[in-house]
């Protein structure tokens, strides 16, 4: 039962982080309009099971009026609302308060702020930390998103590259998207045949989907059940058959290793993790599954 819809407000971001699994950058395309958000929310209303709407990206604060309009629409319909941001706007505490000023009155239920070395190599003071402090002072339900417990703490020393390697070998990065190309070399190599389950997503009965401005309804980033601009969300969810899905079926049967076999993909001898193997197998044959292995953005083929 789908209880959460994560609106990928935009794929554009002020950063191009090495670990980003949707390959966001300042040059990425695909941004919602207010009317598209209205249409999507109409569809979530019709589905009847959605309880929470997230606004994320990319970086949703880059299109602040669109995001704010969407949040107001969602709250007016009775949804709980969350935001995921890197807090770039907090060039000062004063500026952070200016950006966050509307949210205490909107009943925001979650403000997640990404703060780790991949976002900010300056560890002592940065925009994310300022945004977090300002949000807490304003009574907002803010929390820090980091790649692993303690990853952003003062106990981690060394150069940014050394710190990145330490975080990666800690096993908290999902090696898909840009991370597959940029960071997999730092991970502990493992035999690809070990990965016989999907460790992160409930593909049989998903409780959340991510929807982008192109209309792609993603069960996991880059794996779609369809397109809401072509078929209503209620229809897509009703018709979703995980065992018969060309990607989810093999993953349920035997994980990324089975997917690689079914797609006739020959993996490298070792991979970083289950996501890495799944991503490489999918990327190798995107042209065979139009409408399913979408969008191009997530596969870093901008």
At residue 148, the pLDDT reads 58
At residue 157, the pLDDT reads 29
Tell me, what DSSP letter sits at residue 211? E
What domains can be seen in the chain, in order of their start residue?
4-186+201-241+291-299 (3.20.20.70)
Task: Please name which of 243, 207, 240, 246 lies closest in space to residue 226, comparing C-alpha atoms.
Answer: 240
Contact between 88 and 14 (Cβ < 8 Å): yes
At residue 153, the pLDDT reads 33
Pick the more confident residue, 168 or 223. Answer: 223
Examine the pLDDT at 152 and tell me if it is beyond 60: no
Summarised one tens digit per residue, pLDDT across range 88-109 is 999 999 999 999 999 999 999 9
Summarised one tens digit per residue, pLDDT across range 33-68 is 999 999 999 999 999 999 999 999 999 999 999 999
Contact between 140 and 112 (Cβ < 8 Å): no
Mean pLDDT for the chain? 91
At residue 159, the pLDDT reads 36
Summarised one tens digit per residue, pLDDT across range 190-201 is 999 999 999 999
Instruction: Give the gyration radius of the chain's Cα atoms.
Output: 19
Tell me, what DSSP letter sits at residue 189? P
Examine the pLDDT at 164 and tell me if it is beyond 60: no
Summarised one tens digit per residue, pLDDT across range 196-249 is 999 999 999 999 999 999 999 999 999 999 999 999 999 999 999 999 999 999
Q: How far is it, in rounded angstroms, from Cα 218 to Cα 227?
A: 9
Summarised one tens digit per residue, pLDDT across range 239-281 is 999 999 999 999 999 999 999 999 999 999 999 999 999 999 9
Examine the pLDDT at 154 and tell me if it is beyond 70: no
Report percent pLDDT > 70 for the chain: 91
Alpha carbon distances (Å) from 150 to 19, 54, 83, 157: 17, 25, 22, 12
Q: Is 117 helix (H, G, I), strand (E, B) or coil?
A: coil
């Amino acid at each position: 039962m789908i209880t959460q819809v994560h609106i990928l407000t935009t794929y554009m971001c002020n950063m191009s982080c090495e670990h980003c699994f949707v390959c966001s950058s300042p040059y990425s395309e695909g941004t919602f309009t207010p009317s598209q958000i209205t249409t999507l929310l109409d569809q979530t209303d019709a589905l009847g099971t959605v309880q929470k709407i997230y606004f994320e990206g990319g970086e949703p604060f880059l299109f602040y009026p669109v995001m704010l309009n969407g949040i107001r629409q969602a709250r007016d319909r009775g949804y709980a609302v969350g935001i995921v941001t890197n807090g770039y706007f907090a060039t000062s505490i004063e500026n952070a308060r200016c950006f966050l000023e509307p949210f205490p009155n909107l009943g925001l239920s979650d403000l997640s702020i990404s703060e780790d070395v991949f976002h900010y190599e300056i560890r002592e003071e940065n925009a994310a930390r300022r945004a977090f402090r300002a949000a807490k002072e304003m009574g907002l339900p803010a929390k820090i998103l980091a790649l692993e417990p303690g990853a952003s703490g003062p106990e981690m020393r060394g150069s940014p590259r050394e710190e990145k390697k330490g975080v990666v070998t800690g096993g908290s990065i999902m090696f898909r998207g840009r991370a597959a190309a940029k960071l997999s070399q730092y991970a502990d190599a493992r035999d690809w045949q070990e990965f016989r389950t999907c460790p992160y997503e409930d593909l049989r009965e998903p409780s959340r989907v991510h929807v982008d401005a192109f209309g792609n309804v993603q069960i996991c980033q880059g794996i779609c059940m369809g397109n809401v601009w072509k078929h209503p969300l209620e229809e897509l969810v009703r018709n979703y058959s995980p065992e018969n899905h060309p990607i989810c079926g093999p993953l349920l049967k035997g994980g990324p290793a089975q997917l690689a076999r079914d797609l006739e993909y020959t993996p490298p001898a070792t991979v970083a993790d289950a996501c890495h193997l799944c991503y490489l197998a999918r990327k190798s044959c995107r042209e065979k599954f139009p409408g399913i292995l979408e969008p191009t953005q997530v596969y870093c083929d901008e």
